[in-house]
Amino acid sequence: MQRTLDIRSLQLAELKDKLGALEQPPYRAGQISDWLYKKRVGSFEEMTDLPQTLRAQLADQFSFEKTEIVRVLGSRDTTRKFLFRLRDESLIESVLIPASPALYGSRSDRRTICVSTQVGCAYGCKFCASGLEGFSRNLSPNEIVAQLIAVESRVGGSEKIDNVVFMGMGEPLANLDNVMQAIRIINAPWGLGIGARHITVSTSGLAPQIKKLADDPLQIRLAISLHGATDEVRNKIMPINRRYNIETLLSACDYYVAHKKQRLTFEYILIAGVNDSDEQAQLLAKHGNRLRAKINLIPYNTVHGLPWSRPSQDRQERFLSIARGAGVAATLRREKGHDIDAACGQLRLQTKREQLATR
């Protein structure tokens, strides 16, 4: 049976077109979007200012999929991790991150959500839990947006999300069309109303899609998950580098910064004995200066079953000092959620293993 389209995957203009085909006036689209994103109802029947006949037509043409929160873990630093079950029983994760002034220039009172874009991941970064069980499918726009709505509903209206990073499970640029559709809903005043400059998309290095993103007029931010300053290091831990090596990636970034007002960020997870040498710090700073990029250093969050570990505090500080000494804007992110295994994919993997163990 063919799956019907969830109404929350539509832009306002698309919704108006659908309603026009039902011989409904355009203003009905505004009423529906208010119910979806302001009042956040869970069914068409709750849209009480719509005629009953229209509610029946909507229920016949569109789905209203449920995103169920199945587990929540809370950290001592107030980071919270959410595990969701989707329509097909797939599991994905989001993380609500407390105020952090080092996170993409956000104000100290901002609340950031890290959202997933795929079930699993096909790109196989060696240090990451998301891809340990491979890739299942892309998330639809409504499944991406639903993560924000579900988390806000769970934590209450006093903790409104105002910063979104696409750094959860999956490679966002491998699901670019659905991600951009979701971002437009998140950004739109009729949607969630979060400013474009408070939305960051991360990529492991899909160079052609970076150029596509550069050509989009929306002024969102881009973060490059570099994690190695040379091809030798990146090849060891990030298979994507064999398709798009560092120079190809940096050339795509050159194109991006030439077309966008927003400053790039290099994400760099520090892994002991792998990418934390003085030489890597010097070369990373060189790449940062080339693009006038910010560098965000992140101590590795240990993943059970993987052999990697974080460098000592002294080594982290040394790496930071070298990068800053070369003239780039660099920050060392203080750990968030380490006590709840907040790195993406870990809670999903743990839950699936527990389910198998009880069968």
Active site residues: 93, 344
Question: CB neighbours of 84 closer than 8 A, spacing ≥ 6?
Answer: 67, 68, 69, 70, 91, 92, 93, 94, 146, 147, 150
Would you tell me how many other CB atoms lie within 10 Å of the CB of residue 143?
27
Angle between helices 313-325 and 278-291 (to 10 degrees): 40
Taking the C-alpha atoms of residue 108 and residue 343, their distance in angstroms, rounded to an integer, is: 22
Q: Which of 84, 41, 85 is nearest to 59 (CA)?
A: 41
Tokens in use for 147?
């993560």
Helices (H), ranges, the chain = 12-21, 27-33, 52-61, 141-155, 176-187, 207-214, 231-237, 246-259, 278-291, 313-325, 346-357
Q: What are phi and psi of 327, to 5 degrees?
A: 95, 10
Q: Which of 67, 62, 49 is nearest to 19 (CA)?
A: 62
Most distant CA pair in the chain, distance: 68
Give yes or no for a contact between 199 and 220, defined as CB atoms under 8 angstroms apart: yes
Tokens in use for 131?
């891809």
**Identity of the amino acid at 132:** L
Query: How do strand 330-332 and strand 91-97 relate by DSSP bridges?
Result: unpaired
Q: Which of 78, 90, 87 is nearest to 336 (CA)?
A: 78
- Residue matched to tokens 């950031």: 112
Taking the C-alpha atoms of residue 19 and residue 5, their distance in angstroms, rounded to an integer, is: 14
